[in-house]
Amino acid sequence: MQQRSRATIAAVLDAAHGLFGTAGFAGVSIDDVAVACGKTKGAIYHHFATKEALFEEVFRIEQRRIADVVTTAATSTDTATALGEALTAYIDEIATNPRAARITLLDAPTVMGFERWRRCDDGPFRTMLHDTLAAIARSGRLDASDVPLEAVTDTILGAVTENALVIATSPDPEALREPRARACVALVRGLLHAGGGRR
């Protein structure tokens, strides 16, 4: 019974992810999800009380997937360089994967509300960013004595999110991918330089 329940949840989430990613939250009904996964509406509502609850779980799954992509891309043994690789990978993912952009950036703030979206968006990506900056600060390459590390984290996260939104709403995301990624990496390098630490 439990195994069947897990299988049902997985099928629902897979179908919902595809539909939300292509048609958007407003363009998808629970009926659509039921047809796509071959389940009844009742089966879906048994596990997800509302369409919003279903979307939020899809959002969390997509967020974790993107975090895995970003972490995998950061291969350099130099922490600061690895951070640049991670930010570039995130921008690349948003530019080349419209489903990721729609779910995590375009629909989530509206569906979940800005504050809830922001709290959820402070999840794996922000944690990785904060921990990486902390490691850079410990190495002496970032001076966090005058500016709190939380503020530096939020500054970089805000810049990356804004660039990602510009890409996600552009008619030609691919054209913006490389220059926007370079801008994010340049910001990180500028902070390291401004901190007066070792290069």
Which 8-state DSSP code applies to residue 97? -
Tokens 């990356």 belong to residue? 160
Residues 1 and 64 placed together within one structural domain of the fold:
no
- The total domain count for the chain is 2
| pLDDT score of 122 | 54
| pLDDT score of 156 | 93
Q: Give the torsion through C-alpha atoms of 100, 105, 111, 117, to 10 deg.
A: 110
- Confidence tier at 1 by pLDDT (50, 70, 90): low
Residues 114 and 139 placed together within one structural domain of the fold:
yes
Residues 71 and 122 placed together within one structural domain of the fold:
yes
Residues 100 and 11 placed together within one structural domain of the fold:
no
Residues 87 and 178 placed together within one structural domain of the fold:
yes
Query: Residue 198: pLDDT above 70?
Result: no
| pLDDT score of 199 | 40
Q: What is the pLDDT of residues 77-91, one digit of tens each?
A: 999 899 999 999 999
Half-sphere exposure of 194 (CA within 13 A, CB side): 11
Domain assignment present for residue 185? The answer is yes
Domain assignment present for residue 199? The answer is no
Residues 154 and 189 placed together within one structural domain of the fold:
yes
Query: Residue 70: pLDDT above 60?
Result: yes
Domain assignment present for residue 94? The answer is yes
Radius of gyration in angstroms for the set of CA atoms belonging to the chain, rounded to a whole number: 19
Cα distances (angstroms) measured from residue 183 to each of 88, 129, 136, 178: 10, 17, 20, 9
Q: Judge if pTM exceeds 0.85.
A: yes
Residues 131 and 59 placed together within one structural domain of the fold:
yes
Residues 70 and 36 placed together within one structural domain of the fold:
no
Structure tokens at 103: 């779910």
Distance of CA 52 to the CA centre of its chain: 18
Query: Residue 195: pLDDT above 50?
Result: no
Q: Which domain holds residue 112?
A: 51-194
Enumerate residues 6+ apart whose C-beta is below 8 A from 199.
141, 192, 193
d(CA 174, CA 166): 11
- Of 15, 33, 49, the position where a domain reaches its end is 49
